[in-house]
Structure 1
Amino acid sequence: MSVKHHGVRFYHRRRGVSAWLLSGADLSCWFSSEEKELRYFSLLLGFCLSLPVAAIQVTVTIPPLAGMIQPYLTDEDELVVLLEPGASPHGFQFRPSHLVALQHADLLLTLGNSVDTWIEKPLKQRLSEAQAAGQAIRVIAMQKLPGLVVFPRSTRQQRHLSNQSVTDEQDHHEHEHEHEQEALDPHIWLSIANARLMVSAIAAQLTRLQPDRATEIAAITQQLQADYQRLDQQMTDWLAPVRQQPYLLLHDGYQYFEQAYGLQHLGVVQVSDELKPSIKQVLALRKIIQSTGARCVFKEPQFSDRQLHYIIQGLAVEVGELDPLGQGQLDYRQLMRQMAQAVVQCLQPSPK
């Protein structure tokens, strides 16, 4: 399987030969007798005739969706991730290479919410073109899946540094991202329970696209479901010792993760990177951070934290990093595992 960002291959995985060797055909006695030779030849012929499966191209909007579908794909399939590793989906601009990936996609995975709202217009155009040409493109908009848990947007207190003063407010402010204006929290993939539903939907569409692989796809699904369930329990155990440890965020995007594991999120500190804070502003924000008793402030690689270290200098608070999108990580299980480990590392009490 090849994986591409903007049409550039950066990852490759092989498994075809090993899968054939594990098929159960024992060729060690190939020439032991005419009868066995004929029987093995018939078996091999039937097996080979079933081998050709039309390769597909899967296009996904964000890396976590790639991490869910990647275990299903063969060497011949192609996976295109529209959002580059480390990039923010906010302000994403479509390029000609993105349109090419959309035109060649047999299956498109989207969240179907404001995180990847930038796909809506080109997708609508692509679906219209495909219909006119008698072509088919399958689309899974994850947020529309039956049974998916979707939370209202958090109304927890947000504290941010503006060019006038440090203010406390319950809802919107001038530096909120576009998706923070909607009523629902779009970070649906940060729930393993939701991810299990997404994997089932992916498997159903892949089975329709590649019916000759139905048995293999079902086996992979069963393994992934077991892996996700086991990981969920492991993360519950890992995070249990730090549940009562308070922390702050630079971006309120972890409600699904926090509710699943009972974490004590105190609020969001929004710090503008476009201005240098005055001494009065720094002191006010430092007072806010101290008053919460936060042990850690979590940043994200997709958003700037240039002012954060200056503001918290000398405070008894750690800086951790959470990456909800994954830095090119093509395994959803690893993405979630790394998030749990980052939380534990920053929140665990220091040895006395």
Structure 2
Amino acid sequence: MLTSFHQYRTRSIRISLIILSLIMSKSVFAFEQNKINIASSIRPLAIIAQDLLGDSAKVTTVLPNNASPHHFTLKPSQVRQLEQADIVLAVAPELETFLIRYRKASKHPERHIILQEELGRTKAITKDEHHSDEHAHHHHGHDHSYDSGKENAHAEDLHLWLNPEHVAILAKAIIREAIKLRPASKAQLEKQLQTYKQKLIEIQASNKDQLSPYHKVFFGAYHDGYNTFSQAFGLQNAIALTSVPDEQVSAKKITKMRQSLSGAKCLLAESGEATTAKRYARLFKLKLIEIDLLALDPSIKTYQDYIRQITQSVSTCLTD
């Protein structure tokens, strides 16, 4: 009799645990299903979205770690990833060229948030930016007019996420679309936006302060991608060897760059281009500093982490 009771009790406990497990599984599934599904072209934008929305969003990155946004081609699985997303984040058509064709054929182009469009930017550089560039290039008494090549010396820097003020505008756009998807959470989402914007102000102030000793020092870059950061944090614009990665550098341009880079502290290069950049660093007698613009390091979890490591790399570059 006692044995039967114990068997009954054990069976009842087991059944209760199974039921509890099923209930919890359904709750977890429902929670996951209720998350806003965001697909980001590059990891820095994914970090910003996750940083902003936290557990209320599932954020994925389309571009693999070993790929360049300039030369990438979407696979069918990645097209499905974009189509299934509630929100698609990108910087600019000229940067993520792999999204141009997809966006034209997309069933839901209204889901796309393009940072460049949110900023109201145009491809042509404004007169103020012309003046700012010319001032930065001639400030040192050298001819720095070949920073991006004669044919694109005034091209817009599309690494727009490197400026916290731009990120605040992106965050506002993300929250705008999130409210459309979750109108009942409007008050909470707006509160998250205000908190995040304040955090961005603090990030810009603290990193600008760290870089303040170097505001008159200039540096070289393997490719043109640092002016947005420089302008946000009070630095001189980088003297860039190429406008985009993998661009062939002519002997004529190398000769001109010798003068432009005279007195530069170092040459910055992304990890994927460091091997090629080393040759030019030796040629111009500059130390080479690798920098992680695409946030490939998995330990970078927040935008604060991201800007901190960029600031550290630039500080190392500009320090004697």
Using the size of structure 2 for normalisation, the TM-score is 0.71
- Secondary structure at 1:237's aligned position in 2? helix
Decide which of 261, 267, 276 is 1:297's aligned counterpart.
Answer: 267
Instruction: Supply the distance in 2 between the matched residues of 1:243 and 1:196 (Cα, whole angstroms).
Output: 24
Decide which of 57, 60, 63 is 2:40's aligned counterpart.
Answer: 60
Structure 2 residue aligned with 1:23: none
Q: How do 1:175-190 residues align onto structure 2 when only pairs under 5 Å count?
A: 183-190=155-162
Structure 2 residue aligned with 1:113: 93
8 A contact 2:218–2:236 mirrored in 1? yes
Q: CA deviation at 1:196?
A: 0.7
Does the alignment pair 1:227 with 2:227?
Answer: no
Structure 1: stretches of 5+ with no match in the other structure: 1-47, 131-135, 158-167
- Secondary structure at 2:315's aligned position in 1? helix
Q: CA deviation at 1:142?
A: 1.8
Distance 1:151 1:86, change over 3 A: farther
- Secondary structure at 1:78's aligned position in 2? strand
8 A contact 1:108–1:137 mirrored in 2? no
Instruction: Supply the distance in 2 between the matched residues of 1:141 and 1:201 (Cα, whole angstroms).
Output: 9
Distance 1:58 1:247, change over 3 A: same
Q: How do 1:307-318 residues align onto structure 2 when only pairs under 5 Å count?
A: 307-313=276-282, 317-318=286-287
Deviation per residue, 1:226-245 (Å, 9 max, x gap): 11000111011000011222
Structure 2 residue aligned with 1:248: 220
Structure 2: stretches of 5+ with no match in the other structure: 1-26, 135-144
Q: CA deviation at 1:276?
A: 12
Instruction: Supply the distance in 2 between the matched residues of 1:139 and 1:281 (Cα, whole angstroms).
Output: 39
Structure 2 residue aligned with 1:139: 112
- The percent identity for this pair of structures is 24
Structure 2 residue aligned with 1:325: 294
Does the alignment pair 1:91 with 2:71?
Answer: yes
Distance 1:185 1:264, change over 3 A: closer
- Secondary structure at 1:306's aligned position in 2? helix
Q: CA deviation at 1:331?
A: 2.1
- Secondary structure at 2:74's aligned position in 1? coil
What is the aligned residue count?
Answer: 274
Does the alignment pair 1:337 with 2:308?
Answer: yes
Structure 2 residue aligned with 1:36: none
8 A contact 2:224–2:241 mirrored in 1? no
Task: Give the letter aligned to residue 204 of structure 2.
Answer: D
Instruction: Supply the distance in 1 between the matched residues of 2:114 and 2:85 (Cα, whole angstroms).
Output: 15
Instruction: Supply the distance in 2 between the matched residues of 1:285 and 1:181 (Cα, whole angstroms).
Output: 13
Task: Give the letter aligned to residue 120 of structure 1.
Answer: I
- Secondary structure at 2:274's aligned position in 1? coil
Instruction: Supply the distance in 1 between the matched residues of 2:172 and 2:294 (Cα, whole angstroms).
Output: 21
Task: Give the letter aligned to residue 292 of structure 1.
Answer: S
- Secondary structure at 2:98's aligned position in 1? helix
> Higher strand share goes to which structure?
1
Q: How do 1:154-165 residues align onto structure 2 when only pairs under 5 Å count?
A: none
Q: How do 1:188-227 residues align onto structure 2 when only pairs under 5 Å count?
A: 188-227=160-199
Distance 1:285 1:144, change over 3 A: closer
Does the alignment pair 1:82 with 2:62?
Answer: yes
Q: CA deviation at 1:76?
A: 6.9
8 A contact 2:52–2:171 mirrored in 1? no
Instruction: Supply the distance in 2 between the matched residues of 1:90 and 1:339 (Cα, whole angstroms).
Output: 21
Instruction: Supply the distance in 2 between the matched residues of 1:149 and 1:226 (Cα, whole angstroms).
Output: 27
- Secondary structure at 1:264's aligned position in 2? coil
Instruction: Supply the distance in 1 between the matched residues of 2:203 and 2:238 (Cα, whole angstroms).
Output: 26
- Bigger drift between 231-240 and 118-127 goes to 118-127
- Secondary structure at 1:87's aligned position in 2? coil
Instruction: Supply the distance in 1 between the matched residues of 2:242 and 2:58 (Cα, whole angstroms).
Output: 39
Distance 1:310 1:264, change over 3 A: same
8 A contact 2:265–2:286 mirrored in 1? yes
Using the size of structure 1 for normalisation, the TM-score is 0.65
8 A contact 1:285–1:311 mirrored in 2? no
Deviation per residue, 1:126-152 (Å, 9 max, x gap): 22xx5xxxxx96221221225669882
Instruction: Supply the distance in 2 between the matched residues of 1:333 and 1:148 (Cα, whole angstroms).
Output: 25
Q: CA deviation at 1:69?
A: 0.8
Computed over aligned residues only, the root mean square deviation of the Cα atoms, in angstroms, reads 3.8
8 A contact 1:258–1:265 mirrored in 2? yes
Task: Give the letter aligned to residue 266 of structure 2.
Answer: C
> Higher helix share goes to which structure?
2
Distance 1:83 1:64, change over 3 A: same
Task: Give the letter aligned to residue 72 of structure 2.
Answer: F
Distance 1:310 1:325, change over 3 A: closer
Task: Give the letter aligned to residue 118 of structure 2.
Answer: L
Instruction: Supply the distance in 1 between the matched residues of 2:248 and 2:106 (Cα, whole angstroms).
Output: 41
- Secondary structure at 1:108's aligned position in 2? strand
Q: CA deviation at 1:330?
A: 4.1
